[in-house]
């Protein structure tokens, strides 16, 4: 009798819950697979869907690169999973990405996870569709015209030079990633939103911290309860909106339509006034938040990666300096040389260093779409309504046009690749109709950052090569502690 009681207790406390859990997982798999389109003969991609309701979100968030690497090794370039509350197909590889990017509005449409749409807002550029997206993008693109970029160059140069001077003055070294975020935030506030330097500095630390909290919780389960990721992300977003509200009202009341150079937010306000489509304060705050997020989070990630790769490859820094000397930016005559869009375009090797950095460590690892109808991709069914993630980092990693892919080698870009070969093998700014609106701005900003570093500094990574993490942009876990010292211009 005692033995029977012990067995029953063991069965009820351990075996039965385990069996029920396994049964629930199996039913979950059957439920998800039943979502395939029976009119399409192609099978679903291989893969697993994780545990009921949560799917594989927790593994992906906690393990990120390890999780994605394991999935790619096990299932290849197309596989199914369940992330952020939705069944999802994840793809990589130039040909697969090409079909997704060129299938915008026909096969797929942009649809970020519910948590992203809730925090950033459904009226932001990244969430708009069709004519609304085209019109909004056309307005914002005016803030990144060649004429506008020329106006931004001295502002970027001023802010970068000031930051680098502070890094050089720090005797014990600096944490590059948080410093880069503050630098890129100041630049974005001035250039994209047109805020005055003193106002930017006043609110800088609190706003950067709020953006970090918002970014950390952008991709979270869509559950708005106290202490959840979504709850914390919304709280940070509301703080950001409150901080920029006063500046935004002042900007609207003092809007100068005759100003020669207009920032992106000013152009949105002006466009709304002229076309009778005036954006509400909430829409303007959401747009300002999106511009600040895109304008500083991604560039801070890329700038940090630049410091990291060049700290590990001092010979590349020396090659950059040789080019700067050849073009008159180092040496006895360098004090008379001013940066401009034209002479930045002549610095080919410097541009190649930026390209190689974005190849190995693209700031944004991928982007989200949703299938508008069931279609076939490389022999697999992509069911209508399922999310589709195309991976930028994995596509770069598997691109056959890049031999020795793990090697940091800017020379690989010195020979121009045929456009048909590189178009979808190299996509650091996405592609198609939704490619990054600020990509030319980002390239120029990173070039100026690299030039100022090479002209002014030598540096050493105090912890050596860091472990990189994604959340949602790529960053070093240790924040990249680095010691900067003055570079003595030996070319003079």
CA–CA separation, 282 and 284 (whole Å): 5
The reply to whether 436 sits in an annotated binding site is: yes
Query: Which contiguous run of DSSP H or E holds residue 175?
Result: strand 174-175
- Which residues are paired to 366 by β-bridges? 391
What 3-state class would DSSP assign to 488?
coil
Residue 439 CB: number of other CB atoms within 10 A?
Answer: 15
CA–CA separation, 329 and 456 (whole Å): 11
Residue of 174, 88, 120 lying closest to 283 (CA atoms): 120
What 3-state class would DSSP assign to 159?
helix
CA–CA separation, 367 and 365 (whole Å): 7
Residue of 368, 364, 360, 391 lying closest to 472 (CA atoms): 364
CA–CA separation, 166 and 174 (whole Å): 9
CA–CA separation, 289 and 124 (whole Å): 9
Alpha-helical (H) ranges within 217-313 are 229-253, 264-275, 281-292, 298-312
Residue 432 CB: number of other CB atoms within 10 A?
Answer: 17
CA distances from 420 to 35, 401, 426 (A): 36, 11, 11
Main-chain phi, psi angles of 3, to 5 degrees? -65, -40
CA–CA separation, 298 and 472 (whole Å): 9
CA–CA separation, 329 and 322 (whole Å): 10
Residue 304 CB: number of other CB atoms within 10 A?
Answer: 30
Contact 480, 175 (CB under 8 A): yes
Peptide bond into 132 cis (omega under 30): no
What does the block give as tokens for 121? 């807002």
CA–CA separation, 419 and 356 (whole Å): 17
CA–CA separation, 317 and 291 (whole Å): 31
What does the block give as tokens for 320? 């950059």
Binning the chain into helix, strand and coil, the percentages to the nearest 5 are 60, 10, 30
Binding residues: 436
Residue list, annotated binding site for heme: 436
């Amino acid at each position: 009798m005692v033995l029977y009681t012990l067995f029953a207790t063991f069965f009820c406390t351990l075996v039965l819950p385990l069996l029920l859990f396994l049964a629930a997982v199996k039913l979950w798999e059957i439920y998800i697979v039943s979502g395939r389109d029976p009119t399409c003969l192609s099978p679903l991609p291989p893969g697993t869907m994780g545990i009921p309701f949560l799917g594989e979100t927790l593994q992906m968030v906690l393990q990120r690169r390890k999780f994605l690497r394991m999935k790619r090794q096990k299932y290849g370039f197309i596989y199914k999973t369940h992330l952020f509350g939705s069944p999802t197909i994840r793809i990589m590889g130039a040909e697969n990405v090409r079909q997704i990017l060129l299938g915008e509005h026909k096969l797929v449409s942009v649809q970020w996870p519910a948590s992203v749409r809730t925090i950033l807002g459904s009226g932001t550029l990244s969430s708009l569709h069709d004519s609304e997206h085209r019109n909004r993008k056309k307005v914002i693109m005016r803030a990144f015209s060649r004429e506008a970029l020329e106006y931004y160059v001295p502002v970027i140069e001023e802010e970068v030079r000031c930051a680098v001077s502070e890094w050089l003055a720090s005797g014990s070294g600096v944490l590059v990633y948080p410093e880069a975020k503050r630098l890129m935030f100041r630049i974005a506030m001035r250039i994209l939103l047109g805020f005055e330097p003193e106002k930017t500095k006043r609110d800088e630390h609190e706003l950067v911290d709020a953006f970090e909290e918002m970014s950390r919780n952008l991709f979270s389960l869509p559950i708005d309860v106290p202490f959840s990721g979504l709850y914390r992300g919304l709280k940070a977003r509301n703080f950001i909106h409150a901080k920029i509200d006063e500046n935004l009202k002042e900007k609207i009341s003092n809007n100068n339509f005759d100003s020669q150079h207009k920032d992106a937010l000013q152009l949105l306000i002006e466009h709304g006034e002229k076309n009778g489509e005036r954006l509400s304060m909430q829409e303007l705050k959401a747009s300002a938040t999106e511009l600040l997020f895109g304008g500083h989070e991604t560039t801070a990630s890329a700038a940090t990666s630049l410091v990291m790769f060049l700290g590990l490859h001092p010979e590349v820094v020396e090659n950059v300096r040789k080019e700067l000397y050849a073009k008159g930016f180092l040496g006895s005559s360098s004090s008379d040389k001013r940066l401009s869009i034209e002479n930045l375009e002549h610095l080919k090797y410097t541009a190649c260093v930026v390209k190689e950095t974005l190849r190995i460590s693209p700031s944004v690892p991928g982007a989200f779409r949703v299938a508008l109808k069931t279609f076939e991709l490389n022999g697999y069914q992509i069911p209508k309504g399922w999310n589709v993630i195309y991976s930028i980092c994995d596509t770069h990693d598997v691109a056959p046009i890049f031999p020795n892919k793990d090697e940091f080698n800017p020379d690989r870009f010195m020979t121009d690749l045929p456009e048909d070969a590189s178009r979808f093998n190299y996509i650091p700014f996405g592609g198609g109709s939704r490619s990054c609106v600020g990509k030319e701005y980002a390239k120029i900003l990173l070039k100026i950052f690299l030039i100022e570093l090479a002209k002014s500094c030598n540096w050493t990574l105090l912890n050596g090569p860091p472990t990189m993490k994604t959340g949602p942009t790529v960053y070093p876990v240790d924040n990249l502690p680095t010691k900067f010292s003055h570079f003595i211009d030996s070319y003079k």
